[in-house]
Homo-oligomer: A and B are copies of this chain.
Amino acid sequence: MNRFENSPLYQIMHPHSVAFWGASSNPTGMGTVQLTQLLAMGFPGQVYPMHPRETEILGLKAYAHPADLPGPVDLAIFVLPTKVVPEVMEECGKAGIKRIIIVSAGFGEVGPDGQEMQNRLVEIARQYGITFLGPNCIGVVNTYSRLNTTFFPYDGSRGFVGLASQSGSFITQTFVSLEKLGLGFSQAVSVGNEAMIDQVACLEYLGDCPQTRVIGMYVEGIRRGREFFRVAREVSRKKPIVAYYVGGSESGRRAALSHTGVLAGPDRLYEGIFRQCGIIRARTMEELFDFCAVLGSQPLPRSDRVAVLTHSGGPGAAAADTAERTGMHLAVFSPQTVEALKQIVPHTASVANPVDLTFNRNPNDYTETIPGVLLADDSVDSMFLYTLLPWRRVMQTIMAMGKTADEAKIMADSFVAAQADAVVRTWTERGKPMVGGSFCTRDETFIRELQDRGFPVLPSPERAVRALAALTQYARYRGDAEH
């Protein structure tokens, strides 16, 4: 077993059997809702509802005590009243259950009495060789094991974003945000009060996780500063880490304290730690996922010179403005590039940077020929592509040529797919970062086809360029770290 599989988190994230405390015949109970989601995601292992009196819960046979169980249990989940947690934990310890997720709240985050109870949990755990996640957490999601221990329905597809979060909501309630980008979690952990497993342990674990290409962190405060520093520096040389820190303002600090009982530090201190560890800082949850989409899918740029390709002036100007505001530079094209562009573009177009095509002579000009020319230029390190190809307009055009709606639909789908292929072909062949941005969503075929091929399209030019800037910042760190 390597370090990854040996991690206590590995066993929490990959159980073969789960014993679940807190579900009952009350359908609105928190525990019942949570067990419902575990079953709804199609977890393939054994599930044992545990209840002192009830014998069947959600169609499954229920058991009163761990000692009654017909087989071994890899993971216990507690959605129990605060007071009974220590007692049930001892029962688990005696029955040889070594991994627990404690969802129950009312511990360290509520004050000294709660902290004492929480300390008692750690004592019991040490006594029986247990490692637990929480308390006061929402659990975990592992899309590769079809494991969802949270109380939120989860349909998210498999992806490359690993998340370690001091907020449970940001594991579950944001999967719609990820989905908009055509992304999914690899694994996501809500750490709660971090009595035993903290952000540092998650970082190390996700750093080793082969499905995770980028790590996102929601941070209200870091508990083990020195270890965090060491692990983050190690991990960020292998894969990017993006952090969203809210504890730096006084209001954020107080909210964090009452939320997970963590003590946050001044913004400047965290800013410094993140910079020294090569952690890219996001300023919102949306930005966290935007950055993950790009940092998890792109080669590293050599420097900060970006090319902007658009057929609409406004999005081009917005992209150019954002590039400069985020510390990037607009690439100055070589004379050969300018000459090559002049052969392709109409007279209304601009061959400076942004390249503003105004309109296409040939559809592939925009999706393949011009991106190819731009990315081949040595003075271009990365590229932004304004991504717009309305399926409905394609349909209108084809139908105006006299095709039936059914014929046109097939032709439009295949035309748009071919355009997506052209973009992705150029992107992968040239080996330079390239990011799309559009005001359209995945409801638009072109966006969906691109995202489903692994090409990131973000919800606006500004957000796409900001993410390119984050990638560039990470590349600079990696370059410095290696020299």
Which of A's residues lie within 8 Å of B, judged by CB?
A: 27-28, 30, 32-33, 36, 40, 58, 105-106, 110, 151-153, 165-170, 173-174, 176-177, 180, 218, 220, 244, 246-252, 254-256, 258-260, 283-286, 308, 312-318, 320-325, 330, 347-348, 350, 352, 354, 356, 358-359, 388, 390, 392-393, 396-397, 400-401, 439-441, 444, 459-463
Residues of chain B within 8 A (CB-CB) of A247 are 317, 321
Residues of chain B within 8 A (CB-CB) of A27 are 396-397, 400-401
Q: A317-B259, A400-B36 are in contact. Are A348 and B251 (CB under 8 A)?
A: no
Extra inter-chain contacts (10) besides given A152-B393, A249-B325, CB under 8 Å: A27-B400, A173-B440, A176-B441, A177-B439, A218-B314, A246-B321, A251-B324, A255-B354, A285-B318, A286-B459
Which partner residue on chain B sits nearest A396 by CB separation? B36
Residues of chain B within 8 A (CB-CB) of A152 are 390, 393
Contact A252 B324 (CB under 8 A): yes
Which partner residue on chain B sits nearest A444 by CB separation? B176
5 CB < 8 A contacts A-B = A27-B397, A27-B401, A173-B315, A258-B352, A284-B463
Which partner residue on chain B sits nearest A284 by CB separation? B462
Partner of A168 from B153, B312, B318, B393 at Cβ < 8 Å: B312
Contact A284 B167 (CB under 8 A): no
Residues of chain B within 8 A (CB-CB) of A313 are 167-169, 255, 258-260
Residues of chain B within 8 A (CB-CB) of A28 are 397
Q: A330-B251, A348-B106, A397-B28 are in contact. Are A258 and B177 (CB under 8 A)?
A: no
Q: A169-B314, A284-B460, A318-B246 are in contact. Are A259 and B356 (CB under 8 A)?
A: yes
Expressed in whole angstroms, the Cα–Cα distance for A424 and B339 within the complex equals 60
Contact B348 A165 (CB under 8 A): no
Expressed in whole angstroms, the Cα–Cα distance for A74 and B441 within the complex equals 37
Partner of A324 from B153, B168, B250 at Cβ < 8 Å: B250
Expressed in whole angstroms, the Cα–Cα distance for A254 and B58 within the complex equals 64
Partner of A258 from B167, B244, B356, B388 at Cβ < 8 Å: B356
Which partner residue on chain B sits nearest A462 by CB separation? B284
A385 to chain B minimum Cβ distance, whole angstroms, is 14
Contact B249 A321 (CB under 8 A): yes
Expressed in whole angstroms, the Cα–Cα distance for A110 and B356 within the complex equals 12
Expressed in whole angstroms, the Cα–Cα distance for A285 and B463 within the complex equals 10
Residues of chain B within 8 A (CB-CB) of A151 are 393
Partner of A153 from B323, B330, B358, B393 at Cβ < 8 Å: B393
Partner of A352 from B254, B444, B463 at Cβ < 8 Å: B254
Residues of chain B within 8 A (CB-CB) of A320 are 246, 249, 251-252, 254-255
Contact B167 A312 (CB under 8 A): yes
Residues of chain B within 8 A (CB-CB) of A260 are 313
Q: A153-B393, A312-B168 are in contact. Are A317 and B255 (CB under 8 A)?
A: yes
Residues of chain B within 8 A (CB-CB) of A258 are 313, 350, 352, 356
Residues of chain B within 8 A (CB-CB) of A58 are 400
Which partner residue on chain B sits nearest A25 by CB separation? B400
Residues of chain B within 8 A (CB-CB) of A249 are 320-321, 324-325
Which partner residue on chain B sits nearest A400 by CB separation? B27
Partner of A359 from B30, B256, B390, B460 at Cβ < 8 Å: B30
A178 to chain B minimum Cβ distance, whole angstroms, is 9
A317 to chain B minimum Cβ distance, whole angstroms, is 4
Residues of chain B within 8 A (CB-CB) of A441 are 176, 180
Residues of chain B within 8 A (CB-CB) of A177 are 439, 460
Partner of A321 from B180, B252, B330, B358 at Cβ < 8 Å: B252
Which partner residue on chain B sits nearest A391 by CB separation? B153
Expressed in whole angstroms, the Cα–Cα distance for A129 and B13 within the complex equals 75
Expressed in whole angstroms, the Cα–Cα distance for A359 and B441 within the complex equals 32
A403 to chain B minimum Cβ distance, whole angstroms, is 10
Expressed in whole angstroms, the Cα–Cα distance for A312 and B323 within the complex equals 35
Expressed in whole angstroms, the Cα–Cα distance for A84 and B325 within the complex equals 41
A155 to chain B minimum Cβ distance, whole angstroms, is 9
Contact A256 B317 (CB under 8 A): yes
Expressed in whole angstroms, the Cα–Cα distance for A151 and B393 within the complex equals 9
Residues of chain B within 8 A (CB-CB) of A255 are 308, 313, 316-317, 320-321, 354
Contact B388 A173 (CB under 8 A): yes
